[in-house]
Amino acid sequence: MLVHDSAKKKSMEIAFRVRRQTGNDPATYQTYKLDLEPGATVLDALTQIKWEQDGTLAFRKNCRNAICGSCGMRINGKAALACATRAADVVDERGEILIQPFGNMPVIKDIVVDMQDFWKHLDQVEPYVSTAARNTPEKEFLQTPEQREKLEQSGNCILCGACYSECNSREINPEFVGPHALAKAYRMVEDNRDDQTEKRLERYNQPDYAWGCTRCFSCDEVCPMGVQPLEQIQKIRTKLLHSRKLPENTAMRHRRVLVAQIRNSGWLDETRFALEVFAKSPEALLALAPLGLRMLLKGKMPLRHHPIDNFAEVTTLIDAVHQDDYN
Amino acid sequence: MTTTKPLKYAYYPGCVSRGACRELYLSTAAVTKALGIELVELKSAACCGAGTFKEDSELLQDAVNARNLALAEAEGLTMMTQCSTCQGVLGRVNEKLQASEPAYRERIDALLTTEHHYNGTADVRHMLWILLQDYGLDNLKAKVKRPLTGLRCASFYGCYLLRGQQSGRVDDPVNPKSLEQVFTALGATPVEYRGRTRCCGFPLSSYDTKNAFAMAALRIDEAIEAEADCLVTPCPLCHLNLDSRQPEVEKAIGRRLGMPVLHLPQLIGLALGIESAQLGLGQHIVSTRPVLARLGL
Ligand code: SF4
Ligand code: SF4
Ligand code: FES
């Protein structure tokens, strides 16, 4: 009896404010109140609402154990898995939890979004170890624990879509393949069983692939599996920058010029930076002329660039790093 | 809370405030002076790499910034940044190195010249955080000579400030409040809008200009819809894409935006009664006159 009483005390009433929408109809918000046990997850709550209060509420679920990646949604504005989020941990001071569907994907109904582009973009990076490698070999493919370890982090992806939902680049560029696809792309170029590395790098060396990311950290922030897509994208970029075979594009040139300039004077000379990045593209330079003029007139373009004090230390340091790291 | 001992920091100005955003350097100097905050400028600090070093080599980002942090350590001071990106990069390197294996720290140390040694003892914090945590909003409020009454300010935090580092964060990245708290302390009105935690598009601006401008346009439009008089940012890189390139953004979307973008210390300076010339408010690409007019200046 005593146990029962104290358990009862701990259960709390929470109001779920849920965004409701069918297709392109205007969205509305509906609030459901329910008593929850202390350990209840947001998914438990939504399931209870569906069974007991409103059978028309639509959301996806399957494993209830952070494995299948079905139950992704925005909880209080943050993309997360409903089955891995305890209601008590996220309820606000008014006793409310806000439930919305993922962003960057059209709503089908309520919390269910259309993930077609998400899958299409994943497909675009060819997320399978190459066909040649999949032909049954004489003996098994061997992988050392070190080789396997490199695939671990991106291999943990459960394709839930949380990163894609919050991706700033995806929001404005529907062709950008997105963090999930690029995390997978890194896994592919790092896999020693794959024999298409060169071709992959060639493909990923484009604005809609590895260079399309604006480094906003949103994917790293929300990923429930610690995949850290941005970290993986940066590793692809390192591979692209260090490839001797790929033609140099502006994104690569931007990076090479930046490192070279800092090596020379310790910091960035913005005017020369622009001139050097676009040295090979007269049209691009011409397009920048009005900007240059405006900056000049407002005193935003220093005409002389003074190196930082002791800049030679930075030169030595950068050279030493390259010696250490490049081989 | 009354400040007992004078506040003093190792000042990491960053590249942009010494180049394309001189007005940030000027206004930081004017505001810290007015608030009685002493700055020791780290004149031999190098560019943090703005996230680009890491793409060349993570060791490069770690080593150059270990040297930068070592300069602050040598002064025995907390490092003060005034750029969301510098803060995110330096803060992230610092937390990484502090937690890393001795072998990696030794590798870094071997790369640094004998004059510098990274110990992991210095803290690195953005000016915004320092104002909140060390100076105190009440003290700031007490210094306000010209309350910014009626000025509707839309914050623009910058990705690196909100999400760059894991430890020592001041704000919840989904619902940050620090800039809004400063606005309120200065008598201004914070404007709620979606874009404040999102990306300005700057990292794409050199090679994917179309999308960089589309991103900037979206943010400015969101602020306009929320009836903001100006954007206020603690990040000069955001300022570059949102202010310096706004005429090009306007051209790309075929519409006038005319949204002034202030650096955080400029807004504070206005409230402290500092002359707008000293704050470099005439050095913007988008005129800041509507802001001054709103304040009756
Ligand atoms: S990377 Fe993370 S957030 Fe993105 S789909 Fe995979 S598990 Fe989900
Ligand atoms: S860091 Fe890049 S991939 Fe990740 S959410 Fe931001 S833009 Fe998208
Ligand atoms: S239901 Fe499978 S991950 Fe949540």
Confirm or reject contact between A283 and chain B (CB < 8 A): no
| pLDDT cut 70: percent of chain A above it | 95
Range of the domain at B16: 7-126
Q: What is the pLDDT of residue A261?
A: 92
* Other CB atoms within 10 A of residue A8 CB: 10
Quick one: B246 and B210 in the same domain? yes
Quick one: B112 and B64 in the same domain? yes
Q: Do A300 and B208 touch (CB under 8 A)?
A: no
Tell me which of B97, B126, B155 is where a domain ends. Answer: B126
How many cross-chain Cβ pairs, A to B, lie less than 8 Å apart? 184
Quick one: B31 and B162 in the same domain? no
Residue A2: pLDDT band with limits 50, 70, 90:
very low
CA distance A230 to A179: 7
For residue range A66-98, list pLDDT tens digits in order.
Answer: 999 999 999 999 999 999 999 999 999 999 999
Considering the domain boundaries, does residue B160 fall inside one?
yes
| Sheet-wide strand order for B230-233 | B189-191, B152-155, B230-233, B261-263
**Which residues make Cβ contacts (< 8 Å) with residue A220, sequence separation at least 6?**
A228, A229, A230, A231, B163
Q: Do A300 and B112 touch (CB under 8 A)?
A: no
Fold classification of A11-113 (topology level) = Ubiquitin-like (UB roll) (3.10.20)
Considering the domain boundaries, does residue B101 fall inside one?
yes
Quick one: B158 and B288 in the same domain? yes
Q: What is the pLDDT of residue A146?
A: 93
Q: Mutate which of A259, A273, A301, A326 to disrupt the B interface (most B C-beta within 10 Å)?
A: A259
What's the total number of domains in chain B?
A: 2
Nearest 5°: phi and psi at B42? -85, 90
Average pLDDT over residues A146-169: 96
Considering the domain boundaries, does residue B1 fall inside one?
no
- Domain CATH for B113: 1.20.1050.140
Q: 3-class DSSP state for residue B146?
A: coil
For residue range B107-149, list pLDDT tens digits in order.
Answer: 999 999 777 899 999 999 999 999 999 999 999 999 999 999 9
Given A220, A241, A320, which is nearest B56 (Cβ)? Answer: A241
Does residue B49 contact residue B8 with C-beta atoms inside 8 Å?
no
pLDDT tens for each residue of chain B, 297 residues long: 454 678 999 999 999 998 889 999 999 999 999 999 999 999 999 999 999 999 999 999 999 999 999 999 999 999 999 999 999 999 999 999 999 999 999 999 999 977 789 999 999 999 999 999 999 999 999 999 999 999 999 999 999 999 999 999 999 999 999 999 999 999 999 999 999 999 999 999 999 999 999 999 999 999 999 999 999 999 999 999 999 999 999 999 999 999 999 999 999 999 999 999 999 999 999 999 999 999 999
| Token pair of A124 as six digits | 């675009």
* Residue that the structure tokens 């750029």 belong to: B83
For residue range B215-233, list pLDDT tens digits in order.
Answer: 999 999 999 999 999 999 9
- Ligand 3 is surrounded, with C-beta below 6 A, by A 61-64, 66-71, 81, 83
Indicate if ligand 2 lies below 6 Å from the C-beta of A179.
Answer: yes
ipTM confidence: 0.95
Three-state SS sequence of B215-261 = HHHHHHHHHHHCCCCEEEECCHHHHHHHHHCHHHHHHHHCCCCCCCE
Tell me which of B76, B96, B126 is where a domain ends. Answer: B126
For residue range A36-57, list pLDDT tens digits in order.
Answer: 999 999 999 999 999 999 999 9
Q: What is the pLDDT of residue A205?
A: 96
Quick one: B264 and B173 in the same domain? yes
Q: What is the pLDDT of residue B168?
A: 94
Nearest 5°: phi and psi at A18? -110, 135
Considering the domain boundaries, does residue B137 fall inside one?
no
Considering the domain boundaries, does residue B138 fall inside one?
no
Confirm or reject contact between A293 and chain B (CB < 8 A): no
Is the four-CA dihedral A222, A223, A229, A231 of positive or negative sign?
positive
For residue range A188-244, list pLDDT tens digits in order.
Answer: 999 988 889 999 999 999 999 999 999 999 999 999 999 999 999 999 999 999 998
At what angle are helices A270-277 and A250-265 packed, to 10 degrees?
A: 140
Considering the domain boundaries, does residue B131 fall inside one?
no
Fold classification of A116-242 (topology level) = Fumarate Reductase Iron-sulfur Protein; Chain B, domain 2 (1.10.1060)
Quick one: B117 and B158 in the same domain? no
Quick one: B122 and B160 in the same domain? no
Domain ranges across chain A:
11-113, 116-242, 250-326
Closest residue by Cα to residue A263 from A319, A207, A184, A185: A319
- Domain CATH for B177: 3.40.50.11810
Closest residue by Cα to residue A249 from B207, B129, B78, B290: B207
Nearest 5°: phi and psi at B198? -100, -175
Average pLDDT over residues A260-275: 88
Bridge partners of B126?
A: B81
